[in-house]
Amino acid sequence: MTDDDAREPAAPLQVYVIRHGQTAWSLSGQHTGRTDIALTPHGEDEARTLEASLRGLAFSHVLTSPRQRARQTAALAGLGAQATCEPDLAEWDYGDYEGLRSVEIRASRPGWNILRDGCPNGESPAQIAARADRLVKALSALTGNVAVFSHGHFGRCLAARWIGIEIETVQHFLLGTACYGVLGYDPGHPDTRVIARWNIAAA
């Protein structure tokens, strides 16, 4: 028997999509894209709670958005030392709507839906889908448990594109602060991508 014959098969891919902990703007409902805002004390506590939920899992890769709220969450969850910055995990660029709440945007633009209409001087749904698709392709080449620390809108969009559905459908998904979902494959149909678990609060 050769060394190759004795080598164990690679562990199946499972992607843990983790939203950062609470910030002042996630609490107030303000759209937070490029603004590099830190976690609140409660958000720090949420991130620490994630450590217990993720403890015991061996991660082959840990990727994080460049924004400090995501990097801080990864560190407080015990995975900062492994983390690599991945620019494509950044939150939606809200352009002119940065810092505004949806009710304020709709006061001047009735019926606005970011998932359909995008943001002036920011990103469109097509641009977000393309960014998520790049990540899906890159993640699909990995094996084992992979942790990605991202944001509310983009994390949901990544899950949608993982299973090949349109960005607008994520209005039906929730992803709370310091909650996570698990993306993977159907064991009986290993070419079929699935959302195995979703919006799990840290224990």
| C-alpha distance from residue 113 to each of 106, 157, 167 (Å) | 9, 14, 11
Has 44 been annotated as catalytic? Answer: no
Q: Distance between the two ends of the chain, CA-based, in angstroms? A: 45
Pick the catalytic residue from 20, 31, 61, 153: 20
CA dihedral 34, 107, 155, 124 (to 10 degrees): -70
Q: Residue 129: how many CB atoms within 10 A of its CB?
A: 17
Has 20 been annotated as catalytic? Answer: yes
Pick the catalytic residue from 31, 91, 151, 153: 91
Q: Residue 18: how many CB atoms within 10 A of its CB?
A: 29
**Catalytic positions, please?**
20, 91
